[in-house]
Amino acid sequence: MTQLNTKIKLHLEANSKVYLDEKNNYVLQDDGSGAYIKSWSVSGLAKPTDEQLNSYESSAQTEENNNAIRHTRKVAYGNIGDQLDEIYKDIDAWKARIKSIKDANPKE
């Protein structure tokens, strides 16, 4: 099951809202039986129903999986300064290393 916040992000984007601009305009709460929207003040967009949010389950799962892959890749790539030094010394070796990281961690 995906995070409620991921579904909300997708709902906002599907309704022409920018997630980073709107993420402070709603509050989530979890009283032990699952997260829910406690308050919603996104201008021009009604609070989404559970049905609307559940329609994003599949895309939210893909988004979360790809976020995990992005994090894994970022750690494997290493420091940008070290990468630039590696490119300067041997760009072909750098390309091969980056390709092997991407091949080992494909996005959906």
Q: Which two tokens stand for residue 96?
A: 């091969």
Let me know the angle formed at the C-alpha of 55 by 50 and 60, rounded to the nearest 5 degrees.
105
Q: Give pLDDT tens digits for 48-102.
A: 999 999 999 999 999 999 999 999 999 999 999 999 999 999 999 999 999 999 9
* In 23-90, alpha helices (H): 50-54, 57-77, 80-89
Does the pTM of the predicted model rise above 0.85? no
| Domain extents in the chain | 4-104
DSSP 8-state secondary structure symbol assigned to residue 23:
T
Q: Which two tokens stand for residue 47?
A: 């609070």
